[in-house]
Structure 1
Amino acid sequence: MRNEDICRIAQALKEIPDHSLELKEYPGPNRESGRLARTLSVSADGKGRVSVYQVYPGIQLSLLCFLSEQAAFRHPASPAVLEVGHCRAGRVGWNMKNGTSVYLGSGDLSCHSAVCCADSVMTYPMKYYEGISVSMDLETLADCLPGVLSDTVIDIRKLREAYCKPQKSIFISSCPETEGIFLPLYDLPEALRLPYFQLKIQELLLFLGRYVPDQKTVTKYHSEQTELIRQIHDQLTKDLSCRFTIEELSRQYLINTSSLKEVFKAVYGLPIASYMKEYRIREAMRLLRETDESISSIAARVGYETQGKFTKSFRDVAQVLPSEYRKQRRQASR
């Protein structure tokens, strides 16, 4: 729940009305346009933008930006199309059509064939998301590799064998090399986007061509489990003055404690206690900005019995005392 990420995404989407999605497609350097054979819908309480660039023949790069809880993506289930996803901010989960769910966090990479994610629902547990999706038609690339890659020994057949396995996603944890490929692509001026995309797509192909996927794949959970965890999350965050133990939640929702802790961390990126501590303090920060309530009253509203415990937790998360935070925000708004 990084406040700077939320602020950046909100600023990027400020011109888009609530409950709407802006979808733009940009042609390639020779004005060729790829077939964007997908329809998207955004949940009723959200909004988003998808900008699709035709980088090379057979290769599209999409910039995704959402303030929403989910978006439905539909596209052809082509076994020859490799989908590579990068998460910059928030968390993203796919509810696959086979009844399972997988989740990625900031910096993580997923690679799978279009068969895996056709007619899938992407969920955003943090209610915000920023990422990149690259679609590569490997049959087209087999005939013509882009740019300087035409003189390399990249074997497209091996790429397909490694990354387009039926109903299997390859998970690559955040690392300097993949971050070096994707992070420079997010905040570029419009005039520089296409040339940078072309350079970095070639770098991505070189990386995938020499990377050896290990046997670790994305952990999949039954969609019923992740839906149960979202219900638990809603209960935990509905009234922050109330606290629940893991044992109480386990009995109430008929889920064993180890599964509860494991799936909650997979969906929301943090253990329950750490997540709720940060959630309570973020809500306290909002109340300090927007109300004149006393610090002791705010502490009670977000579930702290004493102002001393609240102040310590606030400083752990915000790196500043509550009184100083309120003073800083009011001075900044003048």
Structure 2
Amino acid sequence: MGQQIDPILMTRYLVRERRISSLVRCMDFAYKDGTGFIFLLELYPGVQLWVNDFKMREIWMPRIENYHYLKLNYCLGGRCEVKLPDNRYVYLSSDRVSVDLNAAFGRVTLPTARYLGLELLIDLSVVGKKLPAAWVECGLDLCLAESRLLSQKGSWLGLAPPEWSQKAQALAEHITKGDMELADYRFLTMELLYLLKKGSYSVSAAEQTFLTQGQRSVAMRVEQKLNSDLSKKYIIPELAAEQGVSPSALKKYFTQIYGKPISVYLREKRMERAQDLLSVTQLSIADIAAEVGYENQGKFGAAFRKITGATPLEFRRLNRNHYRYKEN
């Protein structure tokens, strides 16, 4: 029988818990067509470390009454949508750090259906009363951090430098392996917090791109249309006109959410679809080329080889042991 994760997390998932070590447990969960893993350990009473590994388009999170948590999220890979209190959206991508006091609830979008991140979760109602001694000695002041966050509507976004990123990556790997002692996890976490306190990681206003709900909807409708029929040829000015925005605006909105230009996104989706068709169907190469929007087999073959390193026929043969098909 599925077991629910801690109250702050999801409640709509089929969840199975397993132990990685005496300190680390892993929650495997599934929802619709997605799967995920959450590795978590308790550093101190009221302080948890998580590694979130999601392969889905959205995560549902319940509304938490009397929310009193401070969260630090660091993106190791993929993208995650963050909704700000003023109904604007920003997207965490690799090497971005967010610290916030705002509760995430409802549907949280993962635009690329992939997110890997390190999260530090602090229950201020517990830790605010008694900070870990090592944190106090390093001058880590949660009251000051909370005050500064409140002056910024509860959210802060930063770009981590290489040193910080390397340490965060190492900590995440140790959590998933469960191969350290509690004192080691505490030290590495404190080191990250200290470096964050001492460093200047803020993202300038020029580097930050926020989207309104309307701008977000424009990009998502276009993404849905692209995926609805990969055989069609799409013209950006025409797509923009349908949405009532300029081509430059559409390009900006789309790249902000999905992390790549429309042309790159579309090419990757076409190649993914082509690989599926080569693996699991008996369609000819020419038919597959047409199915994914290429005028002829030659252009398709050249594009496919550039992306995968193999010709379509080579790819099909390499998958011979996994799928049944009839070569034409």
- Fold conserved (TM > 0.5)? yes
- Are residues 1:223 and 2:217 paired? no
Partner residue, 2:54 = 66
1:3-41 per-position Cα deviation (integer Å, ceiling 9, x unaligned): xxxxxxxxxxxxxxxx83427699xx99xxxxxxxxxx9
- Equivalence for 2:283: 293
Q: Which amino acid aligns with 2:311?
A: L
Q: Work out whether residues 25 and 52 of structure 1, in 8 Å CA contact, stay in contact via their aligned partners in 2.
A: no
List gaps (5 residues or longer) in structure 2: 1-11, 24-28
- From the superposition, tell whether residues 20 and 151 of structure 1 become closer, same or farther in structure 2 (CA, over 3 Å): closer
Say if 2:10 is the partner of 1:20. Answer: no
- How far 1:197 sits from its partner (Å)? 3.4
- Comparing 321-330 and 266-275, the one that deviates more: 321-330
Q: Report what 1:75 is aligned to.
A: 64
1:280-325 CA-to-partner distances (Å, cap 9, x unmatched) read 1111112222223222221111111122222222233223332322
CA distance in 2, matches of 1:122, 1:82: 18
Cα separation, partners in 2 of 1:60 and 1:258, compared to 1, 3 Å = same
Q: How does 1:1-334 map to 2 (within 5 A)?
A: 20-22=13-15, 44-73=32-61, 74-75=63-64, 81-96=69-84, 98-113=86-101, 115=102, 117-119=103-105, 121-137=107-123, 144-146=130-132, 148-167=134-153, 169-173=155-159, 175-184=161-170, 185-186=172-173, 188-190=176-178, 192=180, 194=182, 196-214=184-202, 216=204, 218-330=208-320
Q: Quick one: which amino acid aligns to residue 159 of structure 1?
A: A
Mapped to 2, the partners of 1:316 and 1:186 lie a distance apart of: 32
Q: Which amino acid aligns with 1:86?
A: Y
Aligned pair in 2 of structure 1 residues 266, 196: CA closer, same or farther (>3 Å)? farther
Contact kept? 1:87, 1:109, Cα under 8 Å: yes
Inter-partner Cα distance in structure 2 for 1:285 and 1:333: 12
Q: Within 2, Cα distance between the matches of 1:77 and 1:246?
A: 45
Tell me the equivalent position of 1:33.
Answer: none
RMSD: 3.4
Secondary structure (helix, strand or coil) at the match of 2:113 reads: coil
Does structure 2 conserve the Cα–Cα contact (< 8 Å) formed by 1:108 and 1:172? yes
With over 3 angstroms needed to count, the CA separation of the structure-2 counterparts of 1:136 and 1:325, relative to structure 1, is same
CA contact (8 A) 1:88 1:106 kept: yes
- Separation in structure 2 between the aligned mates of residue 135 and residue 94 of structure 1, nearest angstrom: 16
- Residues 168-216 of structure 1 show CA distances to partners (whole Å, capped at 9, x for unaligned) of 5322235422322322214632353855532321122111111224362
Q: Which residue matches 1:12?
A: none
Aligned residues of 1:81 and 1:137 also touching (Cα < 8 A): yes
CA 1:198–1:226 in structure 2 vs 1: closer, same or farther (change >3 Å)? Answer: same
Q: How far is the alpha carbon of 1:103 from its aligned partner?
A: 0.9
Of stretches 174-183 and 157-166 in structure 1, the one that deviates more from structure 2 is 157-166
Say which SS state the counterpart of residue 244 (structure 1) adopts: coil
Q: Secondary structure at the match of 2:121?
A: strand
Percent sequence identity over aligned pairs: 27
Q: Which runs of 5+ in 1 are unaligned?
A: 1-18, 31-40
Deviation at 1:94, TM superposition (A): 2.4
Please state whether the residue corresponding to 2:86 is helix, strand or coil: coil
Offset from partner CA, 1:212-232 (integer Å, 9 cap, x none) = 243626432112221231111
- The structure-2 alpha-carbon separation of the partners of 1:109 and 1:99, relative to structure 1 and needing over 3 Å to count, comes to same
Question: Taking structure 1 as the reference length, what is the TM-score of the superposition?
Answer: 0.77
Distance in 1 of aligned mates of 2:100 and 2:243: 33
For the residue of structure 1 that corresponds to 2:180, the secondary structure is helix
